[in-house]
Amino acid sequence: MSAGVGGTRGGSTRATRVRVVVFVAGVAGWVLGMLLVAQLALTAMKPTCYQEGPFVPGAVAPESSAGVSEALSLAPIGRVCSWVVSEAGVVVTVQSGSWATTGLAYGLVGGGFAALVALGFTKRAE
């Protein structure tokens, strides 16, 4: 009879360890993902389209930043620059940002959140 109790206790300890690992991984993934999203967004929000681009391929940059507008993009995370490239008012929009980095950031946030939600459901089931 004591072997059965010891086996149950060992299983309970193992389940607790797994929950702790899932919790730590979930929190770490979520926090790292949020920090990455914040860092990418803050970098993209700097008003530097005129200085750093992204530039329109083959177009001549205007003499001043008056012909440039900029915005933050969340898919992919980066900067969107709109350039007026001619006197006729032709506007060309180019975007910076990496889909790989955006996918990593959103994947960490989503994966961490999913791990924490799944952990909550397994805890309730017992």
What is the pTM assigned to this prediction? 0.65
Spatial contact of 70 and 97, defined as CB atoms under 8 Å apart: no
CB neighbours of residue 71 within 10 Å: 13
3-state secondary structure 82-107: EEECCCCCCEEEEECCCHHHHHHHHH
Nearest CA to 121 out of 8, 9, 19, 10 is that of 19
Q: What percent of the chain has pLDDT over 90?
A: 2
Spatial contact of 95 and 78, defined as CB atoms under 8 Å apart: yes
For 110-121, write each residue's pLDDT tens digit.
888 888 888 877
For 92-103, write each residue's pLDDT tens digit.
788 888 889 888
